[in-house]
Structure 1
Amino acid sequence: METNLAVLIDGDNIPSANVKEMMEEIAKYGNPTIKRIYGDWTKPHLAKWKNVLLENAINPIQQYGYTQGKNATDSAMIIDAMDILYADKVDGFCLVSSDSDFTRLATRLREASKKVIGIGEKKTPEPFIVACDKFIYIEILKQKEADNNGKEKSSKKSDVDKITPKVIKLISSTISDVADEDGWAFLGDVGGLLQKKQPNFDSRNYGFQKLTPMISSIDKFEIESRENQKGKFKLIYVRNKEKN
């Protein structure tokens, strides 16, 4: 059964570029049956969104800023999210924003057993990131757009994160957590637990489209490919290399 998702976008806090790539990414996790974007559409800075909304069938929700200094868009988005939650027509939510104001909303939705996917820029505060089941950086989608256009992938330090000793330690401890007596762990289980430990963990942050090549690039791990009993595809297992 397909997962139905409500996609709620903070138009005041997210750039209009890469929306197509964003919707393609969301489609990996479910069917976006509700697609809404919130903002004051009388303001010039939101004009770039208009064509994008038509192309992606996103419903604009008008929200005037009644009081200077207060973000009415956030309030409207939160109220709508709770209305959708109580209607119980979706299995999960995709909250598109880099604003920490949605931290409590993400927590509340997960308390109601709804899956919460966050999408935002790398400047997104940590509390909002960890409140989601999964958090995806928009910068990743920008890299995808460059690849699709046949351009050379950007190698700027700001685009790709370095694999630090802290990241290696996280992967190593996660392998140990799910490994069998011989130290081997099914890579699918490793990836799932990494996501639970750190919602913004994504091999694409480090320049790899998949977790397998990322782990293969690190000399601290061994990888083994095993035949599946059904014979359709091979299963990938990984373990920590023994220290000499």
Structure 2
Amino acid sequence: MKDDKLAVLIDADNVPYANIREMLVEIAKYGNPTIKRIYADWTKPSLSGWKNVLLENAITPIQQYSYTQGKNSSDSALIIDAMDLLYAKKVSGFCIVSSDSDFTRLATRLREAGMFVMGFGEKKTPKPFITACDKFIYIEILKKQAPAPQSSSTKSKQKTKAESSSVNKIDKELTTLIRESIDEISDENGWAFLGTLGSYIIKKKTDFDPRNYGFPKLFPLIKHLNTFEISEKETGDNNIRHIYVKNK
């Protein structure tokens, strides 16, 4: 899937520019962002901060004048371009960057056409747009983390800082989601492969990401919850480690 061509379409009016570089690095994990466009009325002084970001990341600005006050014409331009790209069959997936629910129907339509749809937005993004995507990532978790400190006291402080900067708190709902998912995909002995578990949870909750809770990966999150059995097995000559989890 990493070789898939992706179209990155950004709604400049509804996302900050501070973490665009980190966002593009994240997108590269899923495919090759061959088309990168950003939509706004660039005559607005409030958008001047985008200039260097666009140059540094080779993002093409699309000018769309605001003909009527209070109406976002950039949304329409983005949607029209997305449909043109869909019918031209130039890409196999889309990354829609916005915190606006106006793109909910677009995401649904693209998925109906067999496209992979990834969403990026702030924590305030309405739920309908989040669930309309195959995968949704909150921009807040893309901030670069500081290098791991060496002393145990500093590590504790870093963990506290990471947890305080997370967009979600660990709660009963998260534990229930993981527990039910394990039950649904486990083998006859109750064990579920960790990689399969992560993919399955995202299908049920498109904005699930361990980083939302202050953890870089699913495994440390599972260990932190301390309510699941863990089995680690090494297979093959390369000592590849496979991790399985089970409900206690």
Q: Which TM-score applies when normalising by structure 2?
A: 0.92
Tell me if 1:167 matches 2:177: no
Which residue type is aligned with residue 147 of structure 1?
A
Contact preservation (8 Å) 2:9, 2:94: yes
Instruction: Give the corresponding residue for 1:224.
Output: 231
Tell me if 1:202 matches 2:209: yes
Which residue type is aligned with residue 96 of structure 2?
L
Local SS of the residue matching 1:35: strand
Tell me if 1:147 matches 2:146: yes
Instruction: Give the corresponding residue for 1:28.
Output: 29
Per-residue deviation at 1:231? Answer: 3.5
Per-residue deviation at 1:16? Answer: 1.0
Per-residue deviation at 1:147? Answer: 2.5
Contact preservation (8 Å) 2:11, 2:75: yes
Per-residue deviation at 1:96? Answer: 0.2
- Structure 1 unaligned regions, length at least 5: none
Contact preservation (8 Å) 1:13, 1:98: yes
Q: Distance in 2 between matches of 1:46 and 1:148?
A: 32
Contact preservation (8 Å) 1:129, 1:200: yes
Local SS of the residue matching 1:217: helix
Deviates more, 1:230-239 or 1:207-216: 230-239
Instruction: Give the corresponding residue for 1:9.
Output: 10
Give the length in aligned residue pairs: 239
Per-residue deviation at 1:166? Answer: 0.7
Tell me: CA distance 1:171–1:95, structure 2 relative to 1, closer, same or farther (3 Å).
Answer: same
Per-residue deviation at 1:227? Answer: 1.8
Identity %: 64
Aligned-residue Cα RMSD (Å) equals 1.8
Instruction: Give the corresponding residue for 1:212.
Output: 219
Local SS of the residue matching 2:141: helix
Equivalent residue in structure 1 for 2:241, among 230, 234, 244: 234
Which residue type is aligned with residue 207 of structure 1?
G
Instruction: Give the corresponding residue for 1:83.
Output: 84
Q: Distance in 2 between matches of 1:205 and 1:159?
A: 5
Contact preservation (8 Å) 1:95, 1:118: yes
Q: Which TM-score applies when normalising by structure 1?
A: 0.93
Contact preservation (8 Å) 2:166, 2:211: no
- Structure 2 unaligned regions, length at least 5: 150-156
